[in-house]
Amino acid sequence: MDEEENVYKEILKDENKFDVLSELAFEAVDKDKSGKIDQSELEKIMAQICMEMGAEIPSKEDVQEVLNHLDKDHGGDIDKKEFKAFIRDILIGMVEDIDDVKGVIEKEELEEKKQKIMENNKNIKINKIE
């Protein structure tokens, strides 16, 4: 395990550190200070990250797909709560030994996932009836 991975684990385990990191990252992306990240802001940060990584700049369709994925309330933009969940997923993805961060996922995120599963099951039942 390297030092960088230890930092990610520490941030995931310490809710205060995670909140500070999430807030700073959100403020850096929310250029117009609207409290939401719109498609234009997302497009700029994705392009910047891709350039820094030497990857292909994402198309408008790619950006829209990412926005649709992150925009859980379908409001057309990414709010702080949605962004925070995204940052948590990124950090968890960067940690090799996920057992070290078990219990870190907030209860509200678990509840959201549970509700989504229940909604999907309801839709499946409705489709079977039709």
Q: How far apart are CA 7 and CA 29, in angstroms?
A: 22
Q: What is the pTM of this model?
A: 0.66
HSE (side-chain half, CA atoms, 13 Å) at 65: 5
98 SS3 class: helix
For the chain, which residues make up each domain, given as ranges?
Answer: 3-102
- Cross-strand pairs, 78: 37
Per-residue pLDDT tens over the stretch 77-99: 999 999 998 888 878 877 765 55
Indicate if the pLDDT at residue 16 is higher than 50: yes
Nearest to 92 by CA among 106, 79, 111: 106
Q: Does the domain at residues 3-102 carry the CATH identifier 3.50.50.60?
A: no
CB 81 within 8 A of CB 87: no
Per-residue pLDDT tens over the stretch 27-61: 999 999 999 999 999 999 888 888 887 888 989 99
Q: Are strands 36-37 and 78-79 parallel, antiparallel or unpaired?
A: antiparallel
